[in-house]
């Protein structure tokens, strides 16, 4: 019979396992290992992760709520396959939202905040130079979150987080990994315009940045990444055991 403490440990262990599986699948998507349209089969994933289908279903539904994957009724879970129209819509929204953010941000920024952005861009460059694709994509999105979060407007932050979830997947499946360093350089230029308190120039650079990201996407010629889930996730159980 389990004691109260043993039940607590089991609950924490289950939550930790959920987080580990969530992180593993998220990272595979952000690294571009799972190409657009890949089906994430519950039964296969349950076997690879050594857990129940119910646990996998829970993780997949969380990823769906985060807009990292698509849950299609009666068909299952898939890595998103955004259409050109989807991409255009997302980046139009990005451009419009960030222009408004910058207009409000420039009058209130200080040197401490600019220092945070400088350090963030340095982390972006380091990740890109190290070839850490997942971290590079995550940090690229987080740069824009720094800007909006500085306003302290929960609604704006929520809207942008939804856009970042969608655009991060778009970038992961359609942008060549070699282009990651471009985003860091463009972010650095935006920071310099903010440092000069030049809102108009910062907005222009932001708009051009999103246009450049959109232009770097190769929807028709997307790289053929690994579709074999066993190759991608087959080592998880061993790592979990060692951990």
4-37 pLDDT, tens digit each: 555 544 544 778 899 999 999 998 888 888 888 8
Q: What is the CA radius of gyration of the chain?
A: 20
Expressed as residue numbers, the domain containing 204 is 84-216
State whether 88 and 205 are in the same domain.
yes
Domain count, the chain: 2
pLDDT at 67: 86
State whether 103 and 40 are in the same domain.
no
pLDDT at 12: 47
State whether 36 and 155 are in the same domain.
no
State whether 76 and 88 are in the same domain.
no
How much of the chain is in helix, strand and coil states, percent to nearest 5?
75, 5, 25
**Segment-wise mean pLDDT, segments of 10 residues, the chain, 243 residues:** 51 78 90 86 93 95 91 92 91 95 96 98 94 89 96 94 88 74 91 98 97 86 62 71 49
What DSSP letter does each residue of 149-177 carry, written as one string?
HTTT-HHHHHHHHHHHHHHHHHHHHHS-G
State whether 203 and 229 are in the same domain.
no
Q: How far is CA 61 from CA 67, 134, 206, in A?
A: 10, 21, 33
| CATH number of the domain to which 175 belongs | 1.20.120.530
State whether 49 and 125 are in the same domain.
no
pLDDT at 158: 92
State whether 206 and 113 are in the same domain.
yes
Four-residue CA torsion sign, 127, 222, 214, 77: negative
pTM: 0.77
pLDDT at 37: 87
Q: How far apart are CA 133 and CA 32, in angstroms?
A: 8
pLDDT at 219: 77
174-199 pLDDT, tens digit each: 877 666 678 899 999 999 999 999 99
Q: How far apart are CA 208 and CA 84, in angstroms?
A: 18
b/e per residue, 215-229, with b = 16+ CB within 10 A? ebbeeeebeebeeeb
State whether 108 and 156 are in the same domain.
yes
State whether 172 and 233 are in the same domain.
no
pLDDT at 109: 94
State whether 96 and 204 are in the same domain.
yes
């Amino acid at each position: 019979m389990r004691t109260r403490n043993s039940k607590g440990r089991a609950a924490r262990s289950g939550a930790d396992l959920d987080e580990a599986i969530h992180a593993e699948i998220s990272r595979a998507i952000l690294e571009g290992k799972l190409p657009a349209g890949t089906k994430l089969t519950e039964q296969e994933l349950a076997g690879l992760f050594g857990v129940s289908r119910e646990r996998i279903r829970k993780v997949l539904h969380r990823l769906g709520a985060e807009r990292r994957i698509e849950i299609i009724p009666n068909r299952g879970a898939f890595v998103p396959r955004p259409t050109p129209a989807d991409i255009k819509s997302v980046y139009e929204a990005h451009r419009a939202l960030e222009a408004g953010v910058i207009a409000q941000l420039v009058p209130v920024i200080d040197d401490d905040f600019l220092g945070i952005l400088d350090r963030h861009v340095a982390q972006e460059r380091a990740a890109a130079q190290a070839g850490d694709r997942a971290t590079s994509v995550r940090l690229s999105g987080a740069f824009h979150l720094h800007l909006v979060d500085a306003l302290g407007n929960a609604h704006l932050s929520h809207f942008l987080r939804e856009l970042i979830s969608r655009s991060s997947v778009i970038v992961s499946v359609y942008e060549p990994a070699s282009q990651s360093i471009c985003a860091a350089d463009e972010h650095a230029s935006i920071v310099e315009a903010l440092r000069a308190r030049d809102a108009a120039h910062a907005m222009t650079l932001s708009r051009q940045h999103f246009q450049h990201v959109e232009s770097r996407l190769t929807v028709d010629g997307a790289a053929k990444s690994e579709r074999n889930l066993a190759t991608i996730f087959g080592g998880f159980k061993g790592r979990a055991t060692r951990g």
